[in-house]
Structure 1
Amino acid sequence: MSDDGRQGLTIIAFIGSVFSPYYAWSAEKDPFAHCAMNVVLYGDRSRFAMTERRAASLDRGPDHIAIGPSAMTWDGTALTVRIDERGAPLPHRLRGSIRLEPRGFTEGPFHLDRAGRHRWWPMAPSSRVEVAFEQPDLRWCGSGYFDTNDGDEPLEAAFSRWTWCRAELPDGAAILYDVHHRQGGGQNLSLRFATDGSRREIRPPAPAALPATKLWRMARETRSDDGRSRVLTTFEDTPFYARSLLALTLGGEPVRAMHESLSLDRFRNPLVRLMLPFRMPRPLPR
């Protein structure tokens, strides 16, 4: 998120794209055959790109991953992301670079399910980001966040839904992650990290209601110190996913928080999966 709160950016490198309809429909279930660099710009020049590519388009090593013409590289100090993609359904070009410099690293991953099949590591919850795009013409600096996820089964097999929320604090960042298990029950993570990545104690915030999204009526809820929150902006309003900017209080601080709601019950609906190729194209093999 930019320092002035007007611009936002999300980048996800997928190996075995968890939201891919092609992956769900494939007989082989080969994750390397379903890779994508998802790039989303929010604000004055909104863009979305998520072209799915085959194994031949993937190159990876300990310090880099490249998917088609886009790549992430770690130099020991910062993560540099070079983007060269086309949007969908509108074929806008996205070309530019992002530099993410972590201020510190957290300890190992969290298990999100009882069986330990789904792992999440908020590796660098407090980072600085420099964004420089040529197409569209866009430059800003702001706060950033870097995490990794991996799993041994489809998300919809383990979870029915979840909400996630991250806010910058004066001395680090806070993350709220509430998952609902498909077999009942769930897990509520209330995490606070200092700037250097060390874990701090945080009092679990109270539930806070939010309105459903306007277009697809996606349910949203979060937590805050006083049980109150409000939606400042809705960035994504889709049949199974919503991303929003919230105003709430965490750790005694009034904050702006990036928030996501995911319904995996909706995602596994066959009609929803039929809509996805319009935003997630997969080029024909040559």
Structure 2
Amino acid sequence: MPAGGQGFARPVPPGGYHWWYADAISDCGRFAFTVIAFVGSVFSPYYHWSGRRRPENHIAFNIALYAPGRNFWAMTERSVTSLTRNAKRLTIGDSSMEMADGRLSIRFNETALPWPGQRAWPTPISGSIDIMSEGVCGEVFPLDETGHHFWSPRMAKASASIACSALPGGGWRGRAYHDLNFGDRPVEEDFIGWDWARGSGSHDDDTVILYDALLRGGGRKRLALQTGGHELRRIGMPHRRNLPRGFWGVRCGVPCDDDRSAVITRRLEDSPFYTRSIVETVVNGRTLHMVHETLDCVRLGNPLVRLMLPFRMPRRPGR
């Protein structure tokens, strides 16, 4: 199994990928963000059409800001000339992630595309995010049976502050999370799809993380973890219960104690192959408020879906 080190400098082989993910929900529950930095962008049609020979030539910095009445979403793919990285710092264009002294510092300067249903022009968004955690986890978990895909919940219980002039009040604070995924071949080769969720009951509660993946070979990978910030421990995982489908009909689900204990309280993303929501659920008797995602890898690999993606994920050859 690969070690959890190397930071942002981990080599990405041809056909492979690496992404670094962070999210947070505000203490008031009205705001949220997600950030994903990609080397060898798994969702990129350009990477797929190129034959996936040069992952560092297909990089992207995705940021989504969710606010009442107005969302911002940016994901511009760039070439290798826009990438610099070492163990502690990753820079893509004018945006970056840096890890130092248990703090993940994110700086973003991107152009948000108009959100579906909102009348707006492309909007520059810039700001900073600081994520602090009581502990940084180095444990790495395999997500398939053949050792091609891995996941590490680096900062499972954390807090965040965001500053951005585009947001009401200029920013907010809340509960946060950071993890990373990496692999040596496309996710659609080995997965039918997965559901993932993380959350807690209150600010001081332990974080619960749920991973439920269906494998192409017919198997299933299910992980249920709990942490107070220092050590990860496995917990019992209930059966998967269906969640309501969105506009595009992606089949969503989340492990929970019974069919009535899973409710989508806010739908954040709804695409032909991916959904993200805030979900209230009950796991082992605990009521949890969770960030939840579903990835349908079969739909991701559909040629028609790939043709749609450039409208949301434009590519620039340079910075």
* Common fold by TM > 0.5: yes
Tell me, yes or no, if the aligned pair for 1:190 and 1:204 is still in contact at 8 Å. yes
Aligned to 1:199: 232
Aligned to 2:53: 29
Tell me, yes or no, if the aligned pair for 2:154 and 2:179 is still in contact at 8 Å. yes
Aligned to 2:37: 13
Aligned to 1:173: 207
Which of 70-79 and 260-269 deviates more? 70-79
Aligned to 2:128: 97
Q: Which of the numbers 281, 284, 298 marks the counterpart of 1:248?
A: 281
Structure 2 counterpart of 1:246, one-letter code: V
Q: Residue 19 of structure 1: CA displacement?
A: 0.3
Residue-by-residue CA offset, 1:87-135 (whole Å, 9 max, x unaligned): 1254111100000001212341100011111010011110000010023
When the two structures are superposed, what TM-score results if normalisation uses the length of structure 1?
0.95
Higher relative contact order (CA 8 A, sep 6+): 2
Which of 93-102 and 68-77 deviates more? 68-77
Q: Residue 31 of structure 1: CA displacement?
A: 0.4
Measure, in 2, the Cα distance between the counterparts of 1:254 and 1:285: 47
RMSD: 1.6
Structure 2 counterpart of 1:5, one-letter code: G
Q: Are residue 182 (structure 1) and residue 216 (structure 2) matched? A: yes
Residue-by-residue CA offset, 1:58-93 (whole Å, 9 max, x unaligned): 011111000000011122131111110001254111
Residue-by-residue CA offset, 1:206-235 (whole Å, 9 max, x unaligned): 32221111x111111111134431111111
Q: Which of the numbers 113, 117, 124 marks the counterpart of 2:155?
A: 124
Measure, in 1, the Cα distance between the counterparts of 2:270 and 2:52: 32
Q: Tell me, what secondary structure is at the counterpart of 1:261? A: strand
Runs (4+) of structure 1 moved beyond 6 Å?
A: none
Which of 245-254 and 256-265 deviates more? 245-254
Q: How many residues align?
A: 284
Tell me, yes or no, if the aligned pair for 1:234 and 1:243 is still in contact at 8 Å. yes
Structure 1 counterpart of 2:221, one-letter code: Q
Q: Which of the numbers 88, 100, 112 marks the counterpart of 2:143?
A: 112
Tell me, yes or no, if the aligned pair for 1:128 and 1:144 is still in contact at 8 Å. yes
Measure, in 1, the Cα distance between the counterparts of 2:162 and 2:81: 29
Structure 2 counterpart of 1:239, one-letter code: P
Q: Are residue 224 (structure 1) and residue 259 (structure 2) matched? A: no
Structure 1 counterpart of 2:113, one-letter code: A
Question: Which runs of 5 or more residues in structure 2 are unaligned?
Answer: 1-24, 115-120
Distance change >3 Å, CA 29–CA 88, structure 1 → 2: farther
Measure, in 1, the Cα distance between the counterparts of 2:136 and 2:316: 37
Question: Which runs of 5 or more residues in structure 1 are unaligned?
Answer: none
When the two structures are superposed, what TM-score results if normalisation uses the length of structure 2?
0.85
Tell me, yes or no, if the aligned pair for 2:77 and 2:314 is still in contact at 8 Å. yes
Q: Tell me, what secondary structure is at the counterpart of 1:135? A: coil
Aligned to 1:145: 177
Q: Tell me, what secondary structure is at the counterpart of 1:116? A: coil
Q: Which of the numbers 26, 35, 39 marks the counterpart of 1:2?
A: 26
Q: Residue 144 of structure 1: CA displacement?
A: 0.5
Measure, in 2, the Cα distance between the counterparts of 1:77 and 1:122: 14
Aligned to 2:244: 211
